[in-house]
Amino acid sequence: MNPTIHNLIFDLGGVLYDLDIEGCLQAFEQAGLTEVRHLITGTNEAGIFQAYETGELSTPRFREEVRRLIGNPQLTDEDSARMWNRMLVHLPQEKLDLLHELGRHYRLYLLSNTNDLHWEHVVRQAFAKQGYQVSDFFQQVFLSFRMKLAKPNPAIFLTALESAGLQAEEALFIDDSPVNCQAAESVGIQAIHYTPGEDLRSLLTTVL
């Protein structure tokens, strides 16, 4: 074990939660949002999707902006949520098992660029439906839409460290975006880049 690391900070989408970015893009394109590929990447979003993930847009405002961009004022809330949540696939059981195991040796935290609709879906589908609470796995969760900050802004890492009372050098951050990993390293946090589909357990054994 790496004696300097006592805290593991996980990204959510792309690291723990499997994503279908292409399915989400196609759903919006089929609805008429032709420029969506410039706005959604699955890591650090742009336009209204970024504004939603930094808490600048409420869920009702986000839905209105989606209707405006698509040019369909009759688009229902259910349809806009369905297209947006099309990105979310599932949190594999082996990763939940891994979190349980890691939690016996480390303090675990979640730091995610996310939004109200996605977080509600994740809590319901990945945790509550299986009889879990988020607190069964994580000491604290840090969510961009609540913090009004998003990766790769170094301030989100500094805020999380201060809130949790952590020393940067005692934390390891795992993210699927190299830019976000670099931002964590810029404030003294050790970081490791995860490629979706990679064996997370094996990756962590190289540094822990």
Q: What is the mean pLDDT of the chain?
A: 95
Structure tokens at 147: 């913090």
What is the average per-residue pLDDT within 151-173?
A: 98
What is the average per-residue pLDDT within 176-181?
A: 97
Match 């946090």 to its residue by tokens: 189
Phi, psi for residue 191 in degrees, rounded to 5 = -140, 150
Strands (E), the chain: 7-10, 18-19, 88-90, 107-112, 140-143, 171-175, 190-193
Q: Which of 154, 192, 162, 163 is nearest to 175 (CA)?
A: 192
- The reported pLDDT for the residue numbered 41 is 79
Q: Which CATH number fits domain 7-18+90-205: 3.30.390.50, 1.10.274.10, 3.40.50.1000, 3.40.50.150?
A: 3.40.50.1000
> Taking the CB of residue 146, how many other CB atoms lie within 10 A of it?
14
Q: Which of 43, 67, 45 is nearest to 54 (CA)?
A: 45
pLDDT at 160 over 80: yes
pLDDT tens digits for range 52-81: 999 999 999 999 999 999 999 999 999 999
Q: Give 1's pLDDT tier (boundaries 50, 70, 90).
A: low
CATH numeric code, 21-85: 1.10.150.240
30-44, 163-177, 188-202: least confidently modelled range? 30-44
pLDDT at 42 over 90: no
Of all residues in the chain, the percent with pLDDT exceeding 70 is 100
Q: Give 44's pLDDT tier (boundaries 50, 70, 90).
A: confident
pLDDT at 46 over 90: no
- The reported pLDDT for the residue numbered 45 is 85
pLDDT at 43 over 90: no
- The reported pLDDT for the residue numbered 144 is 98
Domain regions of the chain by residue span: 7-18+90-205, 21-85
